[in-house]
Structure 1
């Protein structure tokens, strides 16, 4: 009788442990999966914002090399923001839509090979949920680019002095490059200092080359 009672107590004690372990395992797997998907989207957003930041700032610095008028500089930056956001959105839409067409064609081929009834319908429904969304990707790319491009635009909008304006743009872009580089490194699990410096030096080179070449062409009278 005592042995039966002991075995019953062990069974009652073992079941909750198994349930808790199984639930904890499922939660860990779910968290890892969600984090992976979230990290990919965030990293893509950071790269898009960095692209908008560098390209718009370089464009403004290039025009600023030959035109000191604040209106010309702001209009140039705004045009770069709109053109870049549209380009990013269209490019991302076409790219993701091509990927979508390929995956749909692959699903169609797999569907023709299998005739398993309910199982096939269930798998097909799960696959459709994981398909990429071209409109969502296009909107995210355009938004990320615009966020980055706003940094040099806002930095130059309220400063009349030419040299001070250029200095403030460079300072604001430098800070933003460091932040974007650090975030991208964290999301990509890369060394933060090296990644941030690499992004910073790349941004500086882009602005310096654009400024220098435009200054050279402008001074030559072309």
Structure 2
């Protein structure tokens, strides 16, 4: 009996590479950009979380002291801890998705539904997605740390962080849309709006706790 399994992410990468070679390194009109969706999602998520979390860490740590050396050390510690946490969360969550897809494929095969395995798309690689998310977290977090970590004035530091974070979010939105061949303006606006909302929520929570003396 012929055995049919869901195609792996590596097989889809080979298909993508072959399509590029056939058109001389340029994407054809029928190129399937959805193949990049899994790792692009991880990159945008990791980069945005690293950017926002580190920016807020720099703002929060700066309230308790103006020594830049301690601030940089605190920022680096939080940066790499966050990257490891991001990688672990991605591995756990993606493996859940992989298990569901694989066992659904086996159920389809037992029921004679051979074509169903191919309609759900490639099986994602938890390791690759975790590495993409954690690397993007580090890159996104380094930007605010280097931009404002050496500034002693709290007001100037906050202003620099706001400008740098906004530009970085726009760049992240452009990157995701460019590689995914999706509307750039919509992607940039979504990442910028989401990041700003996240920052305002956390800052608002901090202000609220301060009002109650906590």
1:86 — aligned with what? 84
Aligned counterpart, 1:4: none
In structure 2, the partner of 1:144 is: 136
Aligned to 2:58: 60
The match for 1:112 is 110
1:44-193 map, 5 Å: 44-114=42-112, 130-161=122-153, 163-183=155-175, 189=183, 191=186
Where does structure 2 lack aligned partners over 5 or more consecutive residues?
1-21
Q: 1:73 to 1:211 in 2, by over 3 A?
A: farther
- In terms of Rg, which structure is larger? 1
The alignment partner of 2:29 has SS state of helix
- Structure 2 distance, partners of 1:200, 1:126, is 35
- Which runs of at least 4 in structure 1 moved beyond 6 Å after TM superposition? 123-127
TM-fit CA distance, 1:162: 5.0
- Structure 1, unmatched stretches of 5+, are 1-22
Contact 1:93–1:135 (Cα < 8 Å) also in 2: yes
How far did 1:139 drift? 0.7
How many angstroms does 1:67 deviate by?
Answer: 2.0
Q: Which shifted more, 99-108 or 87-96?
A: 99-108
Q: 1:80 to 1:213 in 2, by over 3 A?
A: farther
Aligned length: 185
Aligned residue for 1:28, secondary structure, equals: coil
Cα separation, partners in 2 of 1:98 and 1:203, compared to 1, 3 Å: closer
Greater percentage in helix: 1
Are the equivalent residues in 2 in contact too, given 1:89–1:138 (CA < 8 A)?
yes
Aligned Cα root-mean-square deviation (Å): 3.7
Following superposition, the deviation at residue 65 of structure 1 comes to: 1.9
CA distance in structure 1 between the partners assigned to 2:87 and 2:51 by the alignment: 16
Check conservation: 2:39, 2:128, Cα contact below 8 A. Answer: no
Q: TM-score, normalised on structure 2?
A: 0.67
Give the direction of change, closer, same or farther, for the CA distance of 1:140–1:184 in structure 2 (3 Å limit): closer
